[in-house]
Amino acid sequence: MSDNSILITDLLSLPATVDEVDYARRGYHLDVALTADRVRAMAETLLRHEFYLVFASAVDLAPDAEVVYQFARHGSPCRIMARAYVRRDGTVPTIADIYHGANWHERETKDMFGIRFAGHPYLQPLLLPEENAELKPLKKSEKSIKLPADVRWLPEEPAPAAPAAPAAPKAGGDTPTTPEQG
């Protein structure tokens, strides 16, 4: 736990907002929200804390899309979802020189969403063909696109209403997954 408190302090000083969330329900321990220009600082902090990059991708939302990064640690379990808002065809600083594995993830994100990564060494199509550069298959249409508030966990208030049934067994520790203390 002390390990995580140092980490949280470091993340807060980026600055970023850090929420400790219910692992059993969401599968990750920390929810980090930050601005796009702090992404590199976050990556450096997390690399220092010996995290590895699980994936980097995006979620297409209106008015701004969300670039999401998931990090995890080889030591004591800690999974981090980090998100930064960016214009739907905007630019985020690359972390491919900090986490080299991000290189391909960022190329794939560019393929699928059209989000560009500033400073990326080789931002060429990875999975999609080069010919059809306009095709952004995972972008949502105007009709189906949602606001960020539509895809967030609702605060405590509706818990007894919609996910009442799931909430009960979870409290009993009967979900398939054993909750892990970070």
Partner 1 sequence: MTPEAAKQDKHTFVLNMGPQHPSTHGVMRVILEMDGEHILEPEPVLGYGHRIQEKMGEARPWPGFMPNTSRMDYLSAMIYNHGYVSLIERMTGIEVPRRAEFIRVITDELNRIQSHLLWLGAFLLDLGAFTPIMYTFDDREQILDILEDVTGSRLTYCYHRVGGVARDIDEKFVERTRAFIARLRSRFKPIYYDLVTSNIIFIKRVKDVVSFTPELARRYGLTGPPLRSTGISYDIRKNEPYSIYPEFDFEVPVGTKGDCLEVYNIRVAEMEQSLRIIEQALDRLPEGPFRNKIPRKVKLPQGDATFSVETARGELTYYLVSDGSDVPYRLKIRVPSFSNLSVLQELCRNMLLSDLVMSLGTLDLVIPEIDR
Pairwise CA distance, residues 113 & 65, whole Å: 9
Amino acid found at 51: F
Torsion of CA 132, 135, 136, 137, to 10 degrees: -110
The single residue among 55, 64, 90, 116 that binds partner 1, judged by CB under 8 A, is 55
| Least distance between partner 1 and beta carbon 60 (Å) | 7
Q: Which residues contact 15 (CB under 8 A, 6 or more apart)?
A: 34, 38
Task: Tokens for 158, please give them.
Answer: 């509706």
| Least distance between partner 1 and beta carbon 41 (Å) | 17
Chain residues 82-111 in contact with partner 1, contact rule CB under 8 A: 98-101, 103-104
Under a CB-based contact definition with an 8 Å cutoff, are residues 83 and 89 in contact?
no
Look up tokens 């140092």; give the residue: 6
166 binds partner 1, rule: CB under 8 A:
yes
Chain residues 24-53 in contact with partner 1, contact rule CB under 8 A: 24-28, 47, 50-53
The single residue among 6, 62, 118, 127 that binds partner 1, judged by CB under 8 A, is 127
Under a CB-based contact definition with an 8 Å cutoff, are residues 37 and 93 in contact?
yes
Contact letters (x/-) for partner 1, 4-23, by CB under 8 A?
A: --------------------
# residues near partner 1 by CB under 8 A: 55
CB under 8 A: which stretch of 2-10, 12-20, 34-42, 66-74 binds partner 1?
66-74
Pairwise CA distance, residues 66 & 58, whole Å: 5
- Maximum Cα interatomic distance, the chain, rounded to a whole number of Å: 54
| Least distance between partner 1 and beta carbon 49 (Å) | 10
Amino acid found at 117: F
Positions that interact with partner 1 (CB under 8 A): 24-28, 47, 50-55, 57, 59-60, 68, 70, 72, 74, 77, 79, 81, 98-101, 103-104, 112, 125-129, 137-138, 146, 150-154, 162-163, 165-167, 169-170, 174-178, 180
